Amino acid sequence: MPETEVEDQVEDVVLGVDTHKDTHAAVVTLTGGVVARASFPTTASGYERITAWARSHGVVQRAGVEGTGSYGSALARALQAAEITVLEVNRPDRAVRRCRGKTDAIDAENAARAVLADEATAVPKSADGPVETLRVFKVAKDSAIKARTQALNQLK
């Protein structure tokens, strides 16, 4: 009987991220076990390191990220560019946080588990296209109005 090579099976994992000044990440298996936790800087190179780090623990197809509209927007774009499906994770309510505890590492784990439990289903905004163009124009207009008002007040 010929020998068959047994290929190393790489496990599917989910990345969970809690974004703040530093980015805290956790890799969780499909059964909910925590594989690893780490903290990364919120820079372009930090986002590349998160992606490489998560992929070193298994096949990453989905990531749960808190704050994709603010602190986590750049990370969400970097993960999407790396062909990882990013899902917006809402912060757990206060009762859940009191029961489970509150640390950035726990929040990162909970973000991954929210993806596993199908609690996180919202895809973050792409931040491009006509809506984003209008937003940029509105920000510029609001800034110009504020500067004009300040100048008039100073003249008076």
112 and 148 share one domain? no
The range of the structural domain enclosing residue 84 comes to 12-125
147 and 85 share one domain? no
108 and 33 share one domain? yes
In a domain, 1, yes or no: no
Per-residue pLDDT of the chain (156 residues; tens, 9 = 90+): 444 343 444 588 999 988 877 778 889 888 888 888 988 888 889 899 999 999 999 899 889 888 777 777 888 888 989 999 888 887 765 666 666 666 777 888 888 888 888 776 666 766 667 777 887 888 899 999 999 999 999 998
Judge whether 81 and 71 are in contact, CB under 8 Å.
no
Domains in the chain, number: 2
**Cα gap 95→131, rounded to integer Å:** 36
Q: C-alpha angle with apex 68: 15 to 92, nearest 5 degrees?
A: 70
Using alpha carbons only, how large is the chain's radius of gyration in Å?
20
Per-residue pLDDT tens for 13-56? 999 988 877 778 889 888 888 888 988 888 889 899 999 999 99
CATH for 70:
3.30.420.140
Q: Is the pTM of this model over 0.85?
A: no
What is the model's pLDDT at position 144?
A: 94
**Cα gap 82→63, rounded to integer Å:** 11
SS3 138: helix
